[in-house]
Structure 1
Amino acid sequence: MIPTFVFVHGSGSSGHSWSVTQREMTWRGYRTLAIDLPGRGAGFTTAYHEQDLETFAAEPSAMSGLTADDFTRAVIDAVRRVRHHGPVVLVAHSFGGLPVTAAANAISELIDRVVYIAAQCPVDRAPGEYPALPAWSSSALFPAMAPVLVGDPSRQGFVRVNWRGADRDQRDALRKAISGELTEEEFLQVVVTSQPDEVFWLSGQEWDLRADKDSWGRIPRTFVRLTEDRSMPLAAQDLYIAEGDALTPDNPFDVRDLASSHAGFFRRPAELAGILDDLSVRAGAGSR
């Protein structure tokens, strides 16, 4: 049977990011669903658009009250609904790997394959411990984002990013960190839809979403390495792969390489769609 691909976006993003990928997959004959994780749209206020920074900095955020369970439940609900139509391939990008891993722990019997696209897949540690490891040390994302952060995430309980307030040099640093192959004009299209507010997942044990050997570990899985990624370095991607393989050596990751930055593939989806097509249940690679 032809599977449904359920796409889960990364941090600071929404289901909209998958629109071009979905069109490519539809042309190839697949059903797709791109979900919005909870709180999408938080921070899109008049103060943000008018760059009233004093008001923007003081505004509360819906993200501060959200938990890992809220994010995981959104993925589980989507999988349960589309499962009525046949096999499900769950696809995560970046931060989206956290609720996807938790959902796979909970409902492994409903998922035919999990695909991580430079996505976080914690096995040996809590998610927030990984960015402090040497494998992440070359990431250009954190220094590029520092000038446009608003407030103190550890105090606020959420992350607030003033994407619209970045000057040309700051935008260029962000572009190189996130999607270096895009032109400045193409990157502006990314910035305009980027979410100002995000959950502060680095804090609290409630975000300890490690892969479970007996549930997550039974699902066929693929890791798409983004070889030009300057946000999640290849060493960090390889660490997630190595830990997952060590957890379930009889069910290792199927590893694919994609010559892309952390988010550039969204604008040029043909190669990713080819990988997903090859992995589909229709091709027999994901059936269980």
Structure 2
Amino acid sequence: MWMDHRAASQVDRINGTQHSVLSYVGGVMSVEMQPPKLLWMKENLRESCWEKAGYFFDLPDFLSWKATGVTARSLCPLVCKWTYSPEKGWDDSFWKVIGLEDLVADKYEKIGNQVLSPGASVGNGLTPEAAKDLGLAEGTAVAASLIDAHAGGLGVIGADVKGYNLPCENQPVMSRLAVICGTSSCHMGISDAPIFVPGVWGPYYSAMVPGFWLNEGGQSATGKLMPLTSTMDWPQKLLNYHLEIPHDPTQGIGLCITLDTFPWRVQFTCQLYVG
């Protein structure tokens, strides 16, 4: 799960390697990406999980596997969350230096050694079991996936905006910025050449729009924060706290309020930063 932040120490060690693949995630890998999670499982659940697992999937690839029985992965999650290169494939040296050399030894069978472009047909479509569960016909085509935010980004970037008197009308798609709001906020833009920005995820080639490079920023859990704050009684508790404690006006109260609840996905990428 992307929001599982238990692998903070693992991602710090990964970032400490300064491996070249990190340049494609803004120079600093997020704890929400998959290599630190895999390393955490190996170090903490070796016998019960790591050694028994047949495969490790991102959610969109898990869904296509359940639908088709095919373990092929989509380029989108592998490039954006797993350090896969569309041009070079997996980098053996990266997995070895972070302590996951066993993935290299089995030729990446567990994390994906067959990769499809988003939208490509997966296997022979729905299996009989999946078709029955979904109420659809056996063999119904299943496409290689996009991550949810990237599916939204594709829709925004590729939208036909003619006739709406928008500033982006008659402008190249590279001039558009897709802002996708769900559990988190994602700001996504594409370019025809790779752009390396410290602290900004990417550049990812063909991960969202074929033939274009993707850069992605944003902030985690912003959408999830809305229902949380609407049910919290923290304002009253905070006020009571200040009314109850002795207060020396010459001294700071030791309380620091930030504007953000979780780490940014751009520039300020401290893994444990919370507000």
Task: Provide TM-score, normalisation by structure 2.
Answer: 0.25
Q: Which has the higher contact order (CA 8 A, sep 6+)?
A: 1
Report which of the two has the higher share of helix: 1
